[in-house]
């Protein structure tokens, strides 16, 4: 019964995470995963990044973004395993996916807090 | 819950390789893994930044190693797949109306790309100013 009530909330978070990932991930991934490590663009100084991260607005925005994107990924991957791989352990997969997302959100809270 | 006794024809694990549209669907769904990967990657970056200059340099070094680059190139392609497919299905998922008239799908899709451009420019400015 609880599952019924929680399902719409999960779908809403899934959508919010999908929009966030679609809008923010291309530029973040391009800069931090490709352009800076490969030297296409000179990486910003550590002080500059620390400056951005120590703004409370950044803390809140990033925590929210990371959380909804993790729920998005968990929700979608759950159905990929059900439908794609035809896996049968539905309850265990759901726990693993959402549990992983919650763990990740907790880690994000701690890591984002450590910059202060 | 009652037992479902309907017969279901078993489906092969590789059903999605049979048709191009099935394949695209599964790739789109798989993009979720790479969204999670980049969240994890960005958290590692933030942790490194908070730990000091040396940790930040080490992180950039690690991120330029061949394995990390290969993973990130693949992951970036999947992020693009996610963005394009997400924008494309939005008009179907959300029927927008303005003054009682439906907003045409191309307009909804176009507006999202404008949003993407604005977000990209803002993040670019914030990080590189």
| Interface touch B123/A24, C-beta < 8 Å | yes
Residue A35 lies in a domain: no
Say if CB A23 and CB B119 are below 8 A apart.
Answer: yes
| A103 contacts chain B (CB < 8 A) | no
Q: How far is CA B102 from CA A116, B86, B105, in A?
A: 48, 20, 9
Q: What is the pTM of this model?
A: 0.90
Residue A86 lies in a domain: yes
pLDDT at A90: 84
Euclidean distance between the first and the last CA atom of chain A, given in angstroms as a whole number: 42
Is residue A1 over pLDDT 50? Answer: no
| Confidence tier at B67 by pLDDT (50, 70, 90) | very high
Residue A113 lies in a domain: yes
Tally of structural domains, chain A:
1
Domain boundaries, chain B: 1-93, 96-129
Q: How far is CA B115 from CA A21, A74, B94, B103, B108, in A?
A: 13, 25, 17, 17, 11
| B70 contacts chain A (CB < 8 A) | no
Is residue A56 over pLDDT 90? Answer: yes
Mean pLDDT of chain B: 92
Which of B11, B32, B60 minimises the CB distance to A73? B32
**In terms of pLDDT, which residue wins out, B73 or A84?**
B73
Is residue A46 over pLDDT 80? Answer: yes
| Interface touch A77/B52, C-beta < 8 Å | no
| Confidence tier at A33 by pLDDT (50, 70, 90) | very high
Is residue B9 over pLDDT 70? Answer: yes
pLDDT at A80: 86
| A21 contacts chain B (CB < 8 A) | yes
**In terms of pLDDT, which residue wins out, A26 or B3?**
A26
Closest CA to B83 of B19, B35, B42, B22: B35
C-alpha B30/C-alpha A79 separation (Å) is: 10
| Interface touch B41/A32, C-beta < 8 Å | yes
**In terms of pLDDT, which residue wins out, A84 or A76?**
A76
Average pLDDT over residues A21-45: 98
Average pLDDT over residues A23-31: 98
Residue A67 lies in a domain: yes
CB-based contacts of B17: which residues, under 8 Å, 6+ apart?
A: B23
Which of B39, B73, B83 minimises the CB distance to A70? B39
pLDDT at A111: 98
Average pLDDT over residues B35-43: 98
Range picked from A34-38, B2-6, B11-15, B92-96 for highest mean pLDDT = A34-38
Residue A32 lies in a domain: no
| Interface touch A43/B60, C-beta < 8 Å | yes
Closest CA to A114 of B60, B43, B54, B36: B43
**In terms of pLDDT, which residue wins out, A112 or A8?**
A112
pLDDT at B2: 59
Residue A44 lies in a domain: no
Is residue B104 over pLDDT 70? Answer: yes
CATH ID of B1-93, from 1.20.1300.10, 3.40.190.10, 3.30.70.660, 1.20.120.80: 1.20.1300.10
| B13 contacts chain A (CB < 8 A) | yes
Residue A44: CB atoms within 10 Å:
20
Average pLDDT over residues B44-69: 97
The H or E element containing residue B101 is: strand B101-102
**Nearest residue of B to residue A82, measured between CA atoms:** B13
Question: What is the domain extent for residue A80?
Answer: 52-116
| Interface touch B119/A23, C-beta < 8 Å | yes
Q: Give B129's Cβ-side CA count (13 Å radius).
A: 7
Range picked from A3-7, A9-13, A68-72, A86-90 for highest mean pLDDT = A68-72
Average pLDDT over residues A66-94: 88
| Confidence tier at A2 by pLDDT (50, 70, 90) | low
**Residue with token string 């927008």:** B96
Tokens of B119: 């977000």
């Amino acid at each position: 019964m609880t599952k019924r009530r929680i399902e719409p909330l999960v779908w809403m978070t899934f959508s919010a995470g999908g929009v966030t990932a679609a809008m923010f991930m291309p530029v973040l991934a391009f800069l931090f995963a490709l352009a800076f490590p490969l030297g296409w663009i000179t990486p910003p100084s550590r002080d500059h990044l620390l400056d951005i991260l120590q703004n409370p607005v950044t803390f809140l925005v990033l925590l929210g973004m990371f959380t909804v994107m993790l729920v998005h990924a968990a929700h979608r991957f759950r159905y990929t395993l059900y439908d794609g791989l035809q896996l049968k352990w539905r309850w265990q997969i759901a726990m693993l996916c959402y549990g992983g997302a919650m763990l990740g959100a907790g880690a994000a809270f701690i890591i984002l807090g450590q910059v202060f | 819950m009652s037992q479902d006794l309907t017969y279901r024809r078993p489906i092969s694990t590789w059903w999605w390789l049979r048709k191009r549209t099935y394949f695209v669907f599964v790739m789109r769904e798989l993009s979720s893994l790479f969204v999670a990967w980049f969240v994890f990657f960005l958290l590692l970056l933030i942790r490194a930044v908070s730990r000091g200059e040396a940790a930040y340099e080490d992180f950039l070094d690690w991120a330029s190693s061949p394995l990390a680059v290969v993973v990130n190139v693949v992951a970036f392609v999947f992020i693009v797949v996610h963005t394009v497919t997400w924008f494309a299905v939005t008009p179907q998922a959300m029927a927008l109306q303005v003054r009682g008239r439906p907003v045409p799908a191309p307009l909804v899709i176009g507006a999202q790309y404008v949003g993407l451009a604005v977000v990209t420019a803002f993040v670019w400015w914030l990080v590189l100013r």
